[in-house]
Amino acid sequence: MLLIKFLIFCFCFTGCVREETVHQNQPKYSALSGSHLEAKWSNSISFPLTLKYGTNFSTNELMAIENSANNWNDSVQNEIHFFDIQPSQVSEKVHVDDYNDTELGVYKLTKWPTELPPTALAITQIFGEKIQTSTDTRLEIQHADILVNFENFEFSSNGGFIGYDLETIIIHEMGHFLGLAHQDSSPETSIMYPTIGQFTDSKIPKEIDISNILAKYSVTNTRNESNERETDRQAVVIILELYSNGQEKISFKYN
């Protein structure tokens, strides 16, 4: 089985900006389709994932995080307990690479890292390995974090009308955290719909989300790797960006 270092897998919510402004001062990537790649947590990492929250979230903001985690757990009747939420001593770090540590976290950033586009509402960053075998190519997740851009955006966590709904954003990002891709449906039928507006309110996994997550982590979906043969090794960076106009760009950078 081929183990290829997979550096970063970022899912971004972005504000209303022209697409050409997003990659200023950013590395150049080749646009490729990545929706067919299977991404899931390594079999060596067991659920529940201990997701830690930064020290600077308010009580209402923390409630939004806890509700999102509970809604993922409840969506499958706790057949799989995805998340346990615990406090962290970490609030924010200088560079995105610094989050590749021993702690899975969701962080409120009041100073957005310069490596990231300032138009992103939030980013899910995933570290893992790209595995290419004689039968398929997949991404094995080994570490992930959710970063929320409080420097450039306002968020609502108490049902208010000012800012983006934090719980809607967090539950979507948690879907990416678990390895779900965007769902080409509608906001009413999937929380993984690839766009979000300031007044979007979608806090509960829908039927298609539940079906997809159970298919990914069901006991019956175990893989027989004994006959798989290694075919290639290559480091890769994957960036997935979302725009408020509904456009989506998936980019790969190979080293």
Contact (Cβ atoms closer than 8 angstroms) between residue 52 and residue 86:
yes
Of 204, 208, 217, 214, give the one whose Cα is nearest residue 74: 204
Phi-psi region of 200 (alpha: psi -120 to 50; beta: other; left: phi over 0): beta
Amino acid at 19: E
Contact (Cβ atoms closer than 8 angstroms) between residue 174 and residue 141:
no
pLDDT tens-place string over residues 59-75: 999 999 999 999 999 99
Full-model pTM: 0.82
Q: Which domains does the chain have, with CATH numbers?
A: 4-254 (3.40.390.10)
Question: Is pLDDT at 18 greater than 50 in this prediction?
Answer: no
- pLDDT top residue among 84 and 254: 84
pLDDT tens-place string over residues 203-232: 999 999 999 999 999 755 455 555 567 676
